[in-house]
Structure 1
Amino acid sequence: MASYFLTHAEVVIDPAVPIESWTLSGVGRVRAGAAHHSAWDPGITRIVSSAERKAIETAEVLGQTVGVVPEVDRRLGEIDRSATGYLPPEEFDAVVVRFFDRLDESVRGWERAVDAQTRIVAAVRSLTADGDVTLVSHGAVGALLLADLRGVPIDRALDQPGMGSVITFDPRAWRALSGWTRVTP
């Protein structure tokens, strides 16, 4: 069997709302509703999400579909970017590029990539220690996890192709069984 790392689906971006409180958009709800096709199988009895609203909602939609009540674990959170909060898309992308290029630095006060990778790897190892799980989290930490699962350096090229994407992995062998796949309704 395998475990899954699913990123939250599309969100309603509202600069006036804290990022961790953003909710799923209509498209995001549809994508989350189809996640059971690629981010779950009948042997999985646990779904664990980040504490951010968009991840919780994605996990809840998946959980309702498969009959599993999701748990929440703060260690699955996205990189801490509270120092800047919302950034317009062009500015955000430039900071993300620097985040992936300067792994040992805190770019504009954001959590360092090396620290976020250590956190997400430890969380995933802990959460999968007793069996396979579907984890619902975020794209940047997913890229950091994928690098570790593949035993390669952190690189932005490992980032998800879009919100609502999934990686399949074997936590016992600690290796990725797939790259990113978009959840399709």
Structure 2
Amino acid sequence: MTDRLEPGTDEAMPRIYFLTHPQVVIDPAVSVPRWPLSDVGRRRARQFADSLADGEVTAVWSSREQKALDGGAIIAGHLGVPHRIDSELGENDRSATGYIAPPEFWEVVAAFFGKPDESVRGWETARHAQDRIVTAMRRLARDEPTRGDIVVVSHGGVGELLMAHLQGAAIGAAEKPQHSGGGCWIEIDKDGFSLLAGWRNVPD
């Protein structure tokens, strides 16, 4: 993790650690929002929490999807801080199709990012999802009562849309998480809502 600055310096600032959930148990017979973290994903969530144990995190937020709930609960429990839930931090609404197996899934994802104002196969549009996500992130940055650092556990697509906003880039053109299994994070200045550090991976 980034070395923290001493409190009281001009550069010390509360921040948001935005983490994409790590590996999940993929089960086509189960609704995608109900997929849990795998054993590997749970271990990597604990590693991420370990890396923040000496920091200043005072709250953890997650979406309502099981994989994000699992990650949020692990991190909050390890750090002894509240775990709060905001459904607006969820992945784009894909309920029109349900599970789509790769490689077809990645073709649909490419169309989702490539045509941000169109609904691909009935999915929520990328533009609408980005507006929802940025609004939710700004709200929790402003309203979280503990006033320290925040961890947000969410999803890869959410992270890509958020990063496009933070970088002032077109949807689909921003820096992308590098780990195919998730477990990647960025750091955001909580007060100014600006990017402090780009994507890094929790170790495997």
- Judge conservation of contact 2:58–2:150 (CA < 8 Å) in 1: yes
Return the match for 2:159 from 105, 119, 142: 142
Matched, 1:18 2:31: yes
CA distance in 2, matches of 1:184, 1:75: 28
Change over 3 Å in CA distance of 1:62–1:108 after alignment to 2 = same
Find the residue that maps to 2:55 and give its secondary structure: coil
TM-score (norm 1): 0.94
- Equivalent positions of 1:74-153 (< 5 A) are 74-130=87-143, 131=147, 132-153=149-170
Letter in 2 for 1:143: E
Matched, 1:183 2:196: no
- Equivalent positions of 1:159-174 (< 5 A) are 159-162=176-179, 163-174=182-193
Which structure shows the bigger proportion of residues in strand conformation?
2
TM-score (norm 2): 0.85
Which structure shows the bigger proportion of residues in helix conformation?
1
CA distance in 2, matches of 1:102, 1:41: 43
Give percent identity, aligned residues only.
47
Match of 1:55 in 2: 68
Shift of 1:37: 4.8
Segments of structure 2 that go 5 or more residues without pairing to the other structure are 1-13
Change over 3 Å in CA distance of 1:40–1:145 after alignment to 2 = farther
Q: How many residues align?
A: 185
Matched, 1:30 2:47: no
Segments of structure 1 that go 5 or more residues without pairing to the other structure are none
- The alignment's C-alpha RMSD in Å is 1.6
